[in-house]
Amino acid sequence: MTTTTDVAVWPLAGLRVAQGGLELRYLSDDLLHRLAAVAAGGVHEPDAMPFSKPWSRGTPEEVARRVLVYQWGLRAAVTPEKWAIELAVVLDGQVVGVQGLYTQDFAVTREVTTGSWLGLPYQGRGTGTRMRALILHLAFEGFGARVARTDAFADNPASNRVTRKLGYAPDGTEAFARDGRAAVSNRYRLDREDWERRGGRLDRVELHGVADARRFLAVDAPADDGAPSADAATPGC
């Protein structure tokens, strides 16, 4: 019997980025329910809010349900013109968070935005830096992006620190209404040239399902800029 997670039917189901014990994997329903349980256990301290919308507040059941509904909605909305791919962050076999890649008109702009969160027990161990490095590798080396953008609220020092560590350049600020008050978000930009110059390409990275994903998302239309179109371990292993 064919299921919606079969790669032939849903090519994103085969997408995976791996380095050592850390993986970014397509959110199958099994991984999604595990991710929802992580979110239900807490994503930040009670007095903090790193998100523009307070989806992470509420009872464990409410938070878990929001994660499920949000992810199901992302699946349904994927088109070559606009897509959001959120991958489970799996550390030594355990789901610990999510790492996302978002874009519109990618075949023309070659620009992406990233976003992520980790369960509270898994923060402060360097995983946030490693998973961001992996999604950048997928964006630049796998999909052929030219620019990666991200943002973080000014009062979220951990996220800002990871971003600066990976070589992003400041790209202005933006004000958001958060919890009924204005909050400043720092914007950042990382060009492919800067990523390459700083040694952003990672050794011993396995890219799986990228060729199928590129075809499904029409990444190579109208033109290919020379990024790899076949799955492979990164040269230099």
* pLDDT at site 196: 94
Low-confidence ranges of the chain (pLDDT < 50): 223-230, 232-237
Looking at the whole model, is its pTM more than 0.85?
yes
pLDDT of residue 4: 56
At residue 200, the pLDDT reads 85
Nearest-angstrom CA–CA distance, 174 and 30:
36
User: What pLDDT score does 49 carry?
Assistant: 87
Q: Classify the C-alpha dihedral 211-215-217-218 as positive or negative.
A: positive
Query: How high is the pLDDT of residue 231?
Result: 54
pLDDT for the residue numbered 52: 87
List of domains in the chain: 11-216 (3.40.630.30)
H/E run at residue 31? helix 29-40
H-assigned helices in 41-145: 60-77, 106-109, 127-137
R_g of the chain computed on alpha carbons: 17
Longest CA pairwise span in the chain (Å) = 52
pLDDT digits (tens, 9 = 90+) for 178-189: 988 999 999 999
Judge whether 102 and 115 are in contact, CB under 8 Å.
Answer: yes
> Which pLDDT value is given to residue 3?
59
Return the pLDDT at 235.
35
| Cβ proximity of 178 and 49 under 8 Å | yes
Beta bridge partners of 182: 177
| The pLDDT of residue 220 | 87
Contact, 179 vs 48, CB < 8 A? no
Contact 118, 97 (CB under 8 A): yes
Bridge partner residues of 112 (DSSP): 148
